[in-house]
């Protein structure tokens, strides 16, 4: 079971990282369009549509990856103090009541939107010769399906936590700051940090 959960994590991570390169392409496209518009006086009417579709694709494909890393925004003011079983029970209820219906609706509606867009060879109507829209709309059901698969994995993790009393491990990925690795690099131990904290928080009157 754990291998299956981690396999879905890897799929979500692979998709998220692959489409993350759109950030680079989007940056280059925006830079070129600004230069072309103001320096060369040659704006491209299709550029705004393409930028919007690139950003939308990036946003949708990052959803499952963010969920696999437990990175979505959450109100941790109370949640972080809950024991694991209570966290799992709360998450499970929210997944069943809100997440699953919402994502299923997203994938189903996205499939219908994409099918209709392909059928009519839909192009953007913001400009006279707008770019095709059907590739972008095709991303909606695909991203929804991957997000649904990752959500089912998270539901299984909640059930496992309810049974075992602790969260099962999930796939590791790059962290913003790896504290443990940083400690190794600078050769600092937890005992040293504790001594430093005690020295800093030592009352001034105790020195007299």
Span 150-201, pLDDT tens digits: 999 999 999 999 999 888 887 666 554 455 665 666 676 667 666 665 665 5
Neighbours of 143 (CB within 10 A): 24
What pLDDT is attached to residue 197? 58
Is 201 a member of any domain? no
Task: Give the ranges where 69-131 is alpha helix by DSSP (H).
Answer: 76-79, 84-94, 100-119
Is 195 a member of any domain? no
Measured between alpha carbons, how far is 166 from 87 in angstroms, rounded to an integer?
Answer: 10
Q: In the chain, what percentage of residues exceed pLDDT 90?
A: 52
- Least confident residue range of 20-34, 116-130, 160-174: 160-174
Question: CA triplet 144, 150, 153: central angle to 5 degrees?
Answer: 145
Is 89 a member of any domain? yes
Measured between alpha carbons, how far is 183 from 187 in angstroms, rounded to an integer?
Answer: 6
Contact predicate 95/154, CB 8 Å: yes
What pLDDT is attached to residue 201? 57
Is 119 a member of any domain? yes
188: left (phi over 0), alpha (psi -120 to 50) or beta: beta
Kindly state the tokens that stand for 73.
């925004």
Helix axes 134-164, 84-94, angle to 10 degrees: 140
Q: In the chain, what percentage of residues exceed pLDDT 70?
A: 81
Looking at the DSSP assignment, which residues form a beta bridge with residue 132? 123
Decide: pTM greater than 0.75: yes
User: Could you give the number of structural domains in the chain?
Assistant: 1
Kindly state the tokens that stand for 202.
């030592």
Give the domain range for residue 41: 2-176
Is 115 a member of any domain? yes
Is 83 a member of any domain? yes
Is 193 a member of any domain? no
Is 182 a member of any domain? no
């Amino acid at each position: 079971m754990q291998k299956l959960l981690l396999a879905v994590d890897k799929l979500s991570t692979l998709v998220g990282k692959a489409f993350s390169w759109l950030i680079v392409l989007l940056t280059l496209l925006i830079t070129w369009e600004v230069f072309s518009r103001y320096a060369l006086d040659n704006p491209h009417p299709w550029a705004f549509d393409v930028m919007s579709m690139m950003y939308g694709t990036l946003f949708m494909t990052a959803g499952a990856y963010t969920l696999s890393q437990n990175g979505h925004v959450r109100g941790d003011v109370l949640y972080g103090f809950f024991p694991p079983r209570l966290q799992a029970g709360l998450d499970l209820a929210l997944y069943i009541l809100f997440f699953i219906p919402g994502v299923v609706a997203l994938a189903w509606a996205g499939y219908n939107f994409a099918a209709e867009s392909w059928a009519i060879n839909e192009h953007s109507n913001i400009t006279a010769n707008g770019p095709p829209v059907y590739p972008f709309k095709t991303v909606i059901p695909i991203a929804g399906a991957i997000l649904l698969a990752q959500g089912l994995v998270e539901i299984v993790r909640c059930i496992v936590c309810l049974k075992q009393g602790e969260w099962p491990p999930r796939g590791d990925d790059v962290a913003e700051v790896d504290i443990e690795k940083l400690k190794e690099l600078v050769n600092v131990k937890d005992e040293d940090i504790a001594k430093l904290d005690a020295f800093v928080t030592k009352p001034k009157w105790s020195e007299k």
